[in-house]
Structure 1
Amino acid sequence: MQNFLFDFDSTLADTRDVAVIATQRAFESQGLSLPERDIVVSYMGVPIEVSFAKMVKESLSPAALTDLYTAFRTQYQAAEKLGINLFDGMAATLTSLKDRGAQLFVVSSKHSVPLQRNLAQVGLGTMFQAISGSDTVDHYKPAPDGILALVDRFHLDPKESVMIGDAKYDIQMGKNAGVATVAAMWGAADPDSVRAEDPTYLLAKPADLLTL
């Protein structure tokens, strides 16, 4: 493989606690019933524009949902200071891939601005050739838009490209884009649902990417 496309949350870095805290604080700030931790985690991997409408128990207008998204992004920026950590071996693996000439990208359900901020926070601000946030696509994961845009922009060969992610949505997106897929089992919150998507590779740790 020559082209490695990574999800961010729970693939490159462990952001689970930050996401739960920010989500619950956002819901609380809007007077809404708090979603339980396992519910929040189960929706990590899709944009909040999709997940929040499914998590909220109350009936909300489009304007109220927009206010909830804004509250979340404010809370997330505060909560991320509590700590976002790369998975063990991730930095060394990325460096090794880059040293051998691989092209590295990020395809995330985050907006581009917080995504780039988070990459810088964990020391990866200049590691990737390009990023694709949810604000740059017309259709969210598992639609292939983010991958296809990078394939087209950088003239990537799909046969030499692989999408790496911890959630079923990442695997589905990779398949929809016609690239190979890696289940990042080191960050998977629901391993069974990821395995059920029949990814090309099941990897236990970041260093295993060097074998592809």
Structure 2
Amino acid sequence: MDNFFFDFDNTLADSSNVAVVATQRAYQARNLAIPTRAAIVDYMGVPIEVSFAKMAQETLSVAELAALFTEFRQQYQQAERAGMTIFPGMATTIDALKTQGKQLFVASSKHSVPLQRNLEQIGLGQSFTAICGSDMVAHYKPAPDGILNLLKRFDLDPQRSVMIGDAKYDIQMGRRAGVATAGAMWGAADPVAVKEEQPIYVLATPAALLNL
């Protein structure tokens, strides 16, 4: 493989607790029923523009959802300062892939500004050729738009490209984009669901990426 597309949350960085805490605090702040940890984890990998309405027990207006999104982003920025860490072995793997001349990208459900901020936080701010956040696509995961955006922008060969992610939505996105898929099992909250999508590669550690 020549081109590597990474999800961010729970693929590059261990951030599941950050998302759970920020989500629950956001719903609480807006006086809404607080989603369970299991419900939040199940929707990880899906943009909040899609998942938050589904997790809410109440019917929310467009304005109420917008306020909830804003509250979440504020809560997330507070929670991320102490609760987000890069996975062991990831930094050295990224460096090794770059040394081999591979092109590295991030295709995430985060907006591009917090995505770049989080990459800086875990020490990978300058490690990727480009990123594609959810604010840069017309359709969210599991739609293939994020990968297709990068394939087109950089004239990449899909047959020499792989999507790496910890959630079923990442595998679905990669398959729909026509690239190879790799399950990042080191961060998968639901390994069974990922394997049921039949990714081409099932990887136990970041170092396994060097063998693709």
CA distance in structure 1 between the partners assigned to 2:148 and 2:134 by the alignment: 13
Residue 72 of structure 1 aligns with which residue?
A: 72
- Displacement of 1:135 in angstroms is 0.2
CA distance in structure 1 between the partners assigned to 2:202 and 2:46 by the alignment: 21
Task: Name the TM-score, length of structure 1 as normaliser.
Answer: 0.99
Question: What SS class does the counterpart of residue 92 from structure 2 fall into?
Answer: helix
Residue 93 of structure 1 aligns with which residue?
A: 93
CA distance in structure 1 between the partners assigned to 2:192 and 2:138 by the alignment: 29
**Residues 33-42 or 101-110, more deviating:** 33-42
Residue 61 of structure 1 aligns with which residue?
A: 61
- Displacement of 1:38 in angstroms is 1.2
**Residues 119-128 or 74-83, more deviating:** 74-83
Percentage of matched positions with identical amino acids? 66
Question: What SS class does the counterpart of residue 41 from structure 2 fall into?
Answer: helix
Aligned pairs for 1:18-167 (under 5 A) are 18-167=18-167
Q: Which amino acid aligns with 1:55?
A: M
CA distance in structure 2 between the partners assigned to 1:190 and 1:17 by the alignment: 15
CA distance in structure 2 between the partners assigned to 1:173 and 1:54 by the alignment: 20
CA distance in structure 1 between the partners assigned to 2:205 and 2:38 by the alignment: 23
Q: How many residues align?
A: 212
Q: Which amino acid aligns with 1:4?
A: F
Question: What SS class does the counterpart of residue 163 from structure 1 fall into?
Answer: strand
CA distance in structure 2 between the partners assigned to 1:191 and 1:38 by the alignment: 14
In structure 2, list runs of 5 or more residues that go unmatched.
Answer: none
CA distance in structure 1 between the partners assigned to 2:29 and 2:12 by the alignment: 29
CA distance in structure 2 between the partners assigned to 1:86 and 1:110 by the alignment: 17
- Displacement of 1:83 in angstroms is 2.5
Q: Which amino acid aligns with 1:163?
A: M
- Displacement of 1:82 in angstroms is 1.5
CA distance in structure 2 between the partners assigned to 1:146 and 1:81 by the alignment: 27
In structure 1, list runs of 5 or more residues that go unmatched.
Answer: none
Question: What SS class does the counterpart of residue 96 from structure 2 fall into?
Answer: helix
CA distance in structure 2 between the partners assigned to 1:6 and 1:171 by the alignment: 11
Q: Which amino acid aligns with 2:188?
A: A
Residue 180 of structure 1 aligns with which residue?
A: 180
Q: Which amino acid aligns with 2:186?
A: W
CA distance in structure 1 between the partners assigned to 2:203 and 2:126 by the alignment: 25
